[in-house]
Structure 1
Amino acid sequence: MSSSASRPPSRRPSRRLLLAGALAAVAGTVTGCSADSAASASGGAKRLRIGYFAFPSGDLIVKNGRLLEQALPDHEITWIKFDSGAGVNQAFIGGSLDIAALGSSPFARGISGSSPIPYKVAWILDVAGRNEALVARKDTGVTEVAGLKGRKVATPFASTSHYSLLAALEAAGLKASDVKLIDLQPQAILAAWQRGDIDAAYVWLPTLDELRAAGTELTSSKEIGAAGKPTLDLAVVSDELISKDPKAIDAWRKVQAEALRQLKSDPDGSVRAVAAELGISAADAQAQLSQGVFLTPQEVTSADWLGSDGRPGKLLTYVTDTARFLAGQKQIDVAPAEDVVRKAFYLEGLPDVLD
């Protein structure tokens, strides 16, 4: 999805092109997937392909501690790293993932249109805070969002950062067309920043901290969320997994809940796990974790957030509003109705399966 050229955000590839891209993009990573399916069908080990981000969250604690492998010893589990939600969506279209981390904005995109991606949200990993932000280069002299008019601003398109950038521009009285939007993945953003090719960027950790060191933070997802447009890192499961192996989803939810508890009860252990997964110092891992908002399992399944079996929480409204905003910004053609969004929630067994 990354590109060094500016293009209007409303010019989106078709679902067919996305599918073609997905098959090419994930071919190397998930080689043997058809063999995996055959093994499951013939009574061999069950397989789980899990997409994750190199981003501080309970996901990294689960991965580092091999919690899911311990919970599902009869499954062969493969962790696949992605750079953004756009890549995750492509992989689900290609049938190459069973479970994955996914931002609320790309999820809203995924369930929109006449051919929604066959997945459902099943968990909340974190709520975006200061771990996603908009930063301008100091040499631009820009100190507020309105000052970006006419400037080159980079963000990974179809991500939560992209959504928050559009919201920030709107709040500042600017249209997306008032700036030169550039679609870049985090590492490409850093390289473009260092070359002086862009004036500002909206991105997440750890790239964000490197921009902050030589830039001016204009706003963050914490402020944008407080103003009514929150973004979250969700976890989604494929419809096929729901149909064929729902107990694996229950086990996965349990270890995710365990990771959220560890973030509260064992901060030092959490820091060590995240540092090991990201290849950074404990001090840097602690600083990055402190910028996110991590719910307790009880909060995740409360009416304020994901909700419980038969009773979707406020996340339903957040995702519906996100889709409406994206439609208003011409990012998607039509926003799904709330009842369509509701069908994209997998809440079976919550919160009882966490016990």
Structure 2
Amino acid sequence: MSPASRGPSRRLLLAGALAAVSAAVTGCSSDSEAASSGGSKRLRIGYFAFPSGDLIVKNRKLLEKALPDHKISWIKFDSGASVNQAFLGKSLDIAALGSSPFARGVSGSSPIPYKVAWILDVAGENEALVARKKTGITDVAGLRGKKIATPFASTSHYSLLAALESAGLKPSDVQLIDLQPQPILAAWQRGDIDAAYVWLPTLDELRATGTQLTSSKEIGAAGKPTLDLAVVSDELIARDPAAIDAWRKAEAEALRLLKSDPDGSVKAVAAELGISAEDAAAQLKQGVFLTPEQVVSADWLGTEGSPGKLLTYVSDTAAFLAEQKQIDAAPSQDAVRKAFYSKGLSDVLQ
């Protein structure tokens, strides 16, 4: 099996992510120094330019209002691999992270020192596999021998592997190419790739000249759901648990605003992404956003001492990645359970 089809080792994934994350890490080096020198009133938050409640929290400064004595730094990332590298470098306190890179992060003998503490959204039509119309490909099985780009170690990568397996294809039956969203768009426009599995907003640009073959909503319905989680560092849990409580409440408020104030939510997301309100509304409709009550329910994250179905989802994801030779071995369910931080979680409903 070729290295591309087998997938890189965790060490290579993290090394490859180093260049991508270096700018962000450098940009927040002063925060890192402050946090490590007793500056407990600083929070470094990693986020994606992707429609979610995170962007509402950022745009409306909900966390800054809740924690006026904290210095809040928002740092943009392109993929979960870069987020994992930043946590290893102790450059983040809180961050958005897909369920697949999280499963990778908690695997191995030296798991990344963080824990999942919230669910941002469930992947729906906002992540999908699209083939260039000029290829004439209309189903996943038609990708045999074709060049497919996706950001490795991401939820899209995981969903792509699941889609190939469902269509009777092995990773070695196609040419997998590791590209971030913007390079995917450039390669697409040049005709260098035949298909791509990626998320919004790049996804919508590909759809303009492509044919959608499947989506994360379909793959999730078939038994392999992916989610955008939020993780907190072990160091922050020990240093400033009250800040985690405030952050959770801000994220819960954002989820409520998505339901109660859709126009205001669209405006906030449009401002953060630099797109029209019409485009922001269309992108938000493609995601699956839980209510805070659903997040803490047994169907999803659960509560302290009683983890929900997310435990099974993450464990199953890790097992699939191990089966696909993307990680050396899947962590035990007990190891995954220990990577959940649910203390005080039910308080967000009060």
> Is 1:87 paired with 2:85?
no
| Contact 1:19–1:93 under 8 Å retained in 2 | no
> Is 1:119 paired with 2:114?
yes
Instruction: Find the aligned partners of 1:29 and 1:248 in 2 and give their Cα distance.
Output: 22
**SS of residue paired to 1:351:** helix
Q: 1:92-241 residue pairs with structure 2 within 5 A?
A: 92-241=87-236
Match of 1:291 among 282, 286, 289: 286
| Corresponding residue for residue 333 of structure 2 | 338
Instruction: Find the aligned partners of 1:127 and 1:348 in 2 and give their Cα distance.
Output: 22
| Contact 1:36–1:47 under 8 Å retained in 2 | yes
Instruction: Find the aligned partners of 1:347 and 1:210 in 2 and give their Cα distance.
Output: 38
Q: 1:17-32 residue pairs with structure 2 within 5 A?
A: 18=15, 21=18, 24-32=22-30
Q: 1:268-307 residue pairs with structure 2 within 5 A?
A: 268-307=263-302
RMSD: 1.7
Letter in 1 for 2:269: V
Shift of 1:30: 1.4
Letter in 2 for 1:170: E
| Corresponding residue for residue 4 of structure 2 | 7
Letter in 1 for 2:158: Y
Instruction: Find the aligned partners of 1:15 and 1:302 in 2 and give their Cα distance.
Output: 37
Shift of 1:8: 3.5
Instruction: Find the aligned partners of 1:110 and 1:49 in 2 and give their Cα distance.
Output: 19
Q: How many residues align?
A: 347
Instruction: Find the aligned partners of 2:54 and 2:157 in 1 and give their Cα distance.
Output: 22
Q: Deviations along 1:261-317, whole A, 9 cap, x unmatched?
A: 000000000000000000000000000000000000000000000001111000000
Instruction: Find the aligned partners of 1:212 and 1:20 in 2 and give their Cα distance.
Output: 27
Match of 1:316 among 311, 335, 345: 311
Change (3 A) 1:319 1:45: closer
Q: 1:56-95 residue pairs with structure 2 within 5 A?
A: 56-95=51-90
Letter in 1 for 2:15: L
> Normalising by the residue count of structure 1, what TM-score does the alignment of the two structures yield?
0.95
Letter in 2 for 1:111: V
Shift of 1:24: 3.8
| Corresponding residue for residue 33 of structure 1 | 31
Instruction: Find the aligned partners of 2:18 and 2:80 in 1 and give their Cα distance.
Output: 14
Instruction: Find the aligned partners of 1:328 and 1:293 in 2 and give their Cα distance.
Output: 28
Match of 1:260 among 255, 259, 262: 255
**SS of residue paired to 1:7:** helix
**If each structure's helix is expressed as a fraction of its own residues, which one has the higher value?**
2
Change (3 A) 1:278 1:100: same
